[in-house]
Structure formats: structure tokens, C-alpha cells
Amino acid sequence: MGKIAFIFPGQGAQYIGMGKDISEKYTVANRVFETSNEILNFDMKKLCFEGPEEALMKTEYTQPAILTTSVAILKVIEEYGLSAEVCAGLSLGEYTSLVYSQALNFEDAVGLVRKRGKYMQEAVPLGKGTMAAILGLDNSVIAEIVNKASEKGIVEAANYNCPGQVVLSGEIEAVNEACNIAKEKGAKRATVLSVSAPFHCSMLIGAGDKLKEDLNEVAINKPVKDFILNVTGNYVNNGEEIKELLVKQVSMPVLWEQSIECMISDGVDTLIEIGPGKTLVGFAKKIGKKCGKELKLYNVENIETLESLITIFKH
């Protein structure tokens, strides 16, 4: 029997209505939303269930909204007795992963990601930075593109999502230039994303510095689960080291493909994505294929997907 991993989504997965049906049916999920409301002094529950869209899309609200929804669903899964040996989260999702591995309590996590979102939003003036997804090119070709486009300004690889999908981040002109070069080099797609800031690049070092002060105020313990970090794509089990890497994570690339490869080489054959959307199981499928591994992939974001998962794992 292979190992199970829980994986948690990051920014971009949000939608109005997320977590609503589960929260209405399960007290344990509803309690997470209530706690979030109290900590943030803000109606997070209403924002997730009803919107408005423009508020939910604001980074400082998006981040705690996704974290709250993911933890609410996670608590229900845990009530059913389902657990994982390994966990990881994409960017913001790393904080949900920390909550699951008992390295960080939810109350601290939700306060931190609200500030994290705010710092990331404020780090770069609107209209100065952007991000773009490049599809269908090898990582080595991406490195060449970044190198060439850097003549126009800052552009860096921000997310290694899965084979043939890398997200770039940086100054608008340089990112646009990278998209043009990528198309010349035969990229299937090179699309500028509708994001409010150039995440995971050196333009956000200042945001990391601010976050560091807040991280110093909270306790991060040794994870009780095998916990894989974005910055290294590998296991980390020391609370102080996790803090340092969470600071770096804001301005450094997310090694998601490498994180999933690490799981696979360690015997993980079942991945369950917990939270809004199912982007991560899509990535995992491609990474598994590259590694020659048939993975069992599930996502849980509502009553329907929850019940289907519970049915499978009860047998």
C-alpha cells in the first residue's frame, strides 16, 4: 500500500460559494468559518459564500478565504478518520499544509495570510508588475527565455507547476517580451495572467521582510507529518527553518513539480487535493505521467466530492 498525501491549493482557486454546502452540513466546518470571522474581525463566511467577486479577488481577502475554506473541508475529512502521511500546499496553500501538520495553529495562520496578502499586494505599485503562464516548453528553454527577456527588466520563473507549465513573474515589459520569445520558440501558449502583483519574484523581497516580523510573533512547531516546502521542493521538519523559508517563499519560485516528484519517489501513490478547485490534481497527473507512475488522484471541494471520497476510502 502506497502513502497518501494531502495537497492544498493556492491563490487563483477561489470562487463564490466555496465551502458553503459543507459548512451548512458540518458543524466542524462551520466552526472554522466562525473562527476566521472572529480572528479577522470581518465576515469571511459571507465573502466566501456570497461574494462580492471584487472583494474576494483582492489578495488580502483571497488568501485567508482560501485558507479558511481548505481548513474547513480538511476538518470534515479528519472527522471521517482519513489522514495522510505527507502534505504540501502551493504557495498560499503551504499555510494550510502547516495547519494540517500541526506546525502552525489555524488562528495564527489566518491572521498571517491576511497580512501576507496585504504585503504582497502593496509591494509593487499596480500597473508595474505581472505574471504569465508559458505552456509546452522545457525548463531549460524557459531559462534561456528569462535570460534574454531580462534585458527589458525583471523577469523570473515563479512557479514550476508541472512538465511544460511554468509561470513567469516580473515587470510588465520584460514579461511581455518573454511571452513573445516563448511563442517564437514554439510555446503552445504564452498568456499574461490577470493578477494584481508579480508574485514569487525578487520584486516582492520587501513583502517577505515585513512578513518576517509577523512570523517572529508566532510559534511554528516541528511538523507531525512529512511536510514538503515550496522553496526547496523537499522535506523540512524544523520550525525555525520553516519560518526562514516562508519569508523566502514570497519572492522565490514555487518548486511544485519538484515537490510532487519528491512525494512520488518517497512512495506516495494517492494525492487528495483539499480546498477550492482541482488544479493541483491536474498538475499531479502530468507529473506522475512524466515519472511513469499511475497516481490515484482525488479532490474535495464540496459535498459531492466529499461523499465520493468517503465512499472510496470506507472500503
What is the DSSP annotation of the chain?
A: -PEEEEEE--TT---TTTTHHHHHH-HHHHHHHHHHHHHHTS-HHHHHHH--HHHHTSHHHHHHHHHHHHHHHHHHHHHTT---SEEEESTTHHHHHHHHTTSS-HHHHHHHHHHHHHHHHHHS-TTTEEEEEEES--HHHHHHHHHHHGGGS-EEEEEEEETTEEEEEEEHHHHHHHHHHHHHTT-SEEEE---SS-TTSGGGHHHHHHHHHHHTTS-----SSEEEETTTTEE---HHHHHHHHHHHTTS-B-HHHHHHHHHHTTEEEEEEESS--HHHHHHHHHHHHTT---EEEEESSHHHHHHHHHHHH-
159 neighbors 254 (Cβ within 8 angstroms) = yes
Supply the residues annotated as catalytic: 91, 200
CA 211 to chain centre: 17
